[in-house]
């Protein structure tokens, strides 16, 4: 009794075919691919943000400004060395 209808139910469910629940044609693999791609991008961005050293980038730009001020003659050597020592500590 159940074996007679088994072949009808095994190939399709309510007429949807083997892609039931995943969408027709390319939608079955496109949306999961986009979803997992976004998840991977977010994880990569979070890890990159945690391990990047933004304070060193800020310190490098501060030292560059200090060098430019010294080169332009806005500050003397004593002020340059004092401010450089402060920036290197932080």
pTM equals 0.39
Question: To the nearest whole percent, how much of the chain has pLDDT over 70?
Answer: 60
Averaged pLDDT, 54-66: 73
The domain tally of the chain equals: 2
Residues 7 and 35 in one domain: yes
Is the pLDDT confidence value at 9 over 70? no
Looking up tokens 């030292």, which residue turns up?
A: 63
Residues 31 and 74 in one domain: no
Residue 4 has a pLDDT of 53
Measured in degrees and rounded to the nearest 5, phi and psi for residue 53 equal: -100, 85
Residue 48 has a pLDDT of 86
Residues 44 and 58 in one domain: no
Residue 54 has a pLDDT of 60
Residues 32 and 45 in one domain: yes
Residues 6+ apart with CB under 8 A from 20: 12, 13, 14
Q: What gap in Å lies between CA 15 and CA 57, rounded to an integer?
A: 60
DSSP 21-90: TT-STTHHHHHHHHHHHHHHHHHHHHHHHHH--HHHHHHHHHHHHHHHHHHHTSS-HHHHHHHHHHHHH-
Calculate the average pLDDT of the chain: 75
């Amino acid at each position: 009794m159940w074996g007679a209808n088994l072949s009808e139910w095994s190939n399709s469910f309510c007429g949807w075919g083997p892609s039931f629940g995943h969408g027709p044609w390319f939608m079955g693999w496109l949306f999961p691919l986009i979803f997992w791609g976004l998840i991977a991008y977010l994880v990569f961005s979070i890890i990159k943000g945690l391990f990047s050293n933004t304070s060193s980038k800020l310190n490098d730009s501060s030292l560059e400004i200090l060098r430019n001020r010294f080169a332009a003659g806005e500050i003397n050597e004593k002020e340059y060395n004092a401010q450089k020592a402060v920036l290197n500590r932080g």
